[in-house]
Amino acid sequence: MMYDWIVIGAGIAGATLGYELIKAGFSVLLIDKNNYVESGTNSINKINYTATELSYGGLAFWSGTNQLTNQLCQESRIYYQNISSLFKEQFHLEIEYRELDLLLTIPSQTNPELIAKNYTHFLTPPQLLNIPQACELEPLLNPYSISGALTVKHGHIHPQKATIALIKAFIQAGGELQIDQVTKIAPHQVTTPTQNYITTNMAIAAGGFTRYILQQSHIPLKIYFTHAEILQTPPVDIQLHTLIMPANLQRFNLERQSTLTDTLWLEPGNEPFPAILDPGAVQFCDRTIRIGQISRTLTDINADINLTESEQRLRQHIGEILPALAKLPATCQRCLVAFSRDNLPVVGNIPGQEGIYVFSGFSNPLVYIPPLAERFSHWVKGNEDEIINQLLPQRLV
């Protein structure tokens, strides 16, 4: 069978892209090494997770900073509203779309007004709160750990439930799902240990594994990945009222600094920039809590990470901000997260590689993925798209 499109990876990026391509009338095969439709969200004892499985699920519709990102934020809000009611009606599946208060903590001994200035250019600038106001919004907050906080309304979904619903909708619309591990790609050909799939086009939407798949196939592209570690609790009695993250995310600096020398990423065993920890937490509708997050730029996708040490660090850091969370029962879990050096998604065809496209490297991924998947599926039909034109891989060569 010759497909119009093969999409490699069925995390939230690949699942959304597959769904949009099938809606646009293409024949599509979605390939993933994991079967999410069968395993569902009950996968607590795995060793390696995907970014979608460990994500906080926050939708920063407020965070556009220019015409391009404002447009994507607005389209994304409408998309989630639509699929939330559509999937409820069609499959009785909840993606748990809701609105939460985001709380961006500002550490004690930091000037809150100065930090707030960094947020004035956003589509909806977060509001500055003093310490009592922040603690009123989030009673679990340690008032001595902050000098203030910023708050804004933040969308929220259960990313894995949304992904499973998207895959089901994709299959119902005529898409094919294959559980297989892609080892190599070449123009019009996707290879796994047991099969050679033939296709007109392919899109690599394999998140943090995108670079690895390309590298194995001798296709250079400056797309990168971090190793992320979090604590995942079972359902707990404690109630978090907000999604908490630091106002000064260190991850952005890590991404910038670690990509200054691309040659370090050409072989395993390097760490271009030291690990960082951005303490944060969110509680899902089933009362489980995710506590994060350590990010590391280890260039080996299978790098050894001591999860016992990571767990201690995460407990210590979250304990300073949210003391009640420090001793909760939890397991430490890890995954890979893709990123690009300019903080923008990498969407489009790879120069010189006929029919090979990338759909990865999203910053603010959960917001950008749906509008870009929709736009991508129209663009590959020949419709000009001024947003996709700005995200093409050729800018990274």
Ligand X SMILES: Cc1cc2nc3c(=O)[nH]c(=O)nc-3n(C[C@H](O)[C@H](O)[C@H](O)COP(=O)(O)OP(=O)(O)OC[C@H]3O[C@@H](n4cnc5c(N)ncnc54)[C@H](O)[C@@H]3O)c2cc1C
Question: Applying CB under 6 A, which residues contact ligand X?
Answer: 8-14, 31-34, 50-52, 54-58, 159, 181-182, 205-209, 213, 228, 230, 292-293, 335, 337-338, 360, 362, 364-367
Cβ closest to ligand X, residue 11 vs residue 348: 11
Cβ closest to ligand X, residue 31 vs residue 380: 31
- Least Cα distance to 45 among 335, 331, 311 occurs for 331
Cβ closest to ligand X, residue 155 vs residue 272: 155
Cβ closest to ligand X, residue 34 vs residue 353: 34
Cβ closest to ligand X, residue 292 vs residue 355: 292
Q: In the chain, what is the greatest distance between 2 CA atoms, to the nearest angstrom? A: 63
- Output phi, psi for 295, to 5 deg: -125, 135
Q: CB-based contacts of 287: which residues, under 8 Å, 6+ apart?
A: 235, 236, 237, 239
- Report helix angle 12-23 to 365-379, nearest 10: 30
Least distance to ligand X, CB of residue 307, Å: 14
Task: Judge whether 96 and 88 are in contact, CB under 8 Å.
Answer: no
Least distance to ligand X, CB of residue 230, Å: 5
Least distance to ligand X, CB of residue 366, Å: 3
Least distance to ligand X, CB of residue 109, Å: 27
Q: CB-based contacts of 1: which residues, under 8 Å, 6+ apart?
A: 198
Cβ closest to ligand X, residue 146 vs residue 156: 156
Q: How many CA atoms lie within 13 A of 29 on its CB side?
A: 20
Cβ closest to ligand X, residue 225 vs residue 379: 225
